[in-house]
Structure 1
Amino acid sequence: MVVVLIYVEDVIIIGNYLTKIQEIKKQLNNEFSVKDLGPLKYFLGIEVAKTQDGLVLSQRKYVLDILKDCGKLGCKPSSFPIEHGLKLDKGENEPTVDANQYRRLNGRLLYLQATRPDITYSVNVLSQFVADPRCNHLEAADHVLRYLKATPGQGNLLSRAGDPVLTAYCDSDWLGCPYTRCSRTGYFLLLGGTPISWKTKKQSVVSRSSAEAEYRAMASTVSEVLWVHWLLSELQVCISGLRLSFVRTKLLERSCT
């Protein structure tokens, strides 16, 4: 089996048969001008390191570039991405800030979530204010940068070991948005102990009770589980078990490290 991942002009080829991979490289080279970069080490800002335990995915260089562009290389590190219990509002009485700068920073943080589930909640909150960012929003974004300064090389380990069990955790933050009164859904999926999917998103409707918000969170999580299960089946990955847990702690605000 050989799988080819294509993003514009960048291609990753993986499989369980080296000879077939070489044949596909040759076919591509006959049709296009292809440069073989060898074993995967860097892809779209994601660094890949091969160890005895598996593959480590991180975005250390990408994080350092963000800190350098924002002038935060010398800032004081923080041990958490967002203040506990912080409820950002529109800040209509706060001074305005450069909207283009805020949007660019927010976009870079969105992409950083590819390997950093620990900042997903913080970035979800910050993304709600890109239309009219204020000083309090930029201060919260600076706090995320201070956290990244403390953990620039943090990433995900795609472990070799572990049973092929798909585990899903979900949580809800009832009335988490202070001005729309919408709740938030958060889920976290692991395959054999390895994080493979995570998300924090504001629910589209206002839940009239915490139980309703929890059911909506579980419904979103089950939908993601079904999609991941279908994808793994296409990749011929056999799942030996499935666990689904609803977490009543503050999963949305906790670091997933």
Structure 2
Amino acid sequence: MEENHRLQVIEEGPYADPGRYRRLVGRLVYLTVTCPDLTYVIHILAQFLKKPQVKHWEAALRVVHYLKGCPGQGILLTANTDLTLSSYCDADYQTCPRTRRSLSGYVILLGGSPIAWKIKKQKTVSLSSAEAEYRAMRYTTGELKWEHELLSYFGVRHDTAIPLFCDNQAALHIAANPFFHERTKHIDADCHFVRDALKAGLIATFKIHTSNQVADIFTKSLGGPPFSYLLRKLGIRDLHALT
């Protein structure tokens, strides 16, 4: 998807065949089950099923061209993995120009390969970027609890704290600070949820530079070089590419 797109506010004329647009996007939705790189763009395109514009159809065709250019691309599950969990979370502050709600995104890796990912528009408007990032941290923590319990049923133990990487320093300070203040009153329940996980030793939070934040690919449109770089960090490879 083009960087800094304005698809949410485009009013350049409706697409002549909205049913065709709905069928295409409906098919692309199923690909997000195994293609994390499509999650963001499909999330955006699915918002215009009722009244698609011409630009929306062109953006959908751009996805088809991308898929035709890399038919063998997918998640690489390596055999020599240590089966340890790690996670990344990110938020794009007030990214929706219509509602000013933020986007939350996360990805959970098992041995360096993605096994769970999600993009979600937050239910309420965040009053700061720290609040938006902390909500993303809470969504990720909830998923980590589920994955940790699920792996235990398969006999995979995870005795150490699961790394949770975030690129927002303020959100990390809120997680580590045992005292509540005016900046956290809107996310009181989220604070308790994440801190309980920290106290229990389920997760351990770490600061990561934005350029290495792989969850960025789920919250915003990126240029070619950073997009390709984050795909490699996610363990996504093209089986048809020359080695």
Q: Please, which of 96, 103, 117 is the counterpart of residue 22 of structure 2?
A: 103
Q: Structure 1 CA distance, aligned partners of 2:123 and 2:104?
A: 10
TM-score (norm 1): 0.64
* Structure 2 counterpart of 1:140, one-letter code: A
| 1:79 match | none
1:176-217 deviation per Cα after TM superposition (whole angstroms, max 9, x unaligned): 111111110111110111110111121111111111110111
* Unpaired runs of at least 5, structure 1: 1-81
The alpha carbon displacement at 1:161 in A equals 1.2
Q: Structure 1 CA distance, aligned partners of 2:16 and 2:122?
A: 28
| 2:124 match | 205
Higher RCO (CA-CA < 8 Å; seq separation 6+):
2
Q: Contact conserved, 1:169 with 1:187, CA < 8 A, in 2? A: yes
SS in 2 for 1:225: helix
1:215-244 deviation per Cα after TM superposition (whole angstroms, max 9, x unaligned): 111111111111111111122222254110
Q: 1:191 to 1:240 in 2, by over 3 A?
A: farther
SS in 1 for 2:8: coil
Alignment length, in residue pairs?
Answer: 176
* Unpaired runs of at least 5, structure 2: 168-209, 232-243
1:139-168 deviation per Cα after TM superposition (whole angstroms, max 9, x unaligned): 111111111111111111222112221010
Q: Contact conserved, 2:104 with 2:135, CA < 8 A, in 1? A: yes
Q: Please, which of 55, 59, 70 is the counterpart of residue 151 of structure 1?
A: 70
Q: Which shifted more, 239-248 or 176-185?
A: 239-248
Q: Please, which of 195, 199, 202 is the counterpart of residue 114 of structure 2?
A: 195
Q: Contact conserved, 2:15 with 2:57, CA < 8 A, in 1? A: no
The question of 1:160 aligning with 2:74 is answered no
State the identity %: 47
Q: Please, which of 144, 163, 167 is the counterpart of residue 243 of structure 1?
A: 163
| 1:226 match | 145
Q: Structure 1 CA distance, aligned partners of 2:13 and 2:140?
A: 36
Alignment of 1:91-130 (within 5 A): 91-130=10-49
Larger helix percent: 2
Q: Which shifted more, 121-130 or 246-255?
A: 246-255
CA RMSD of aligned residues (A): 1.6
| Bigger-Rg structure (1/2) | 1
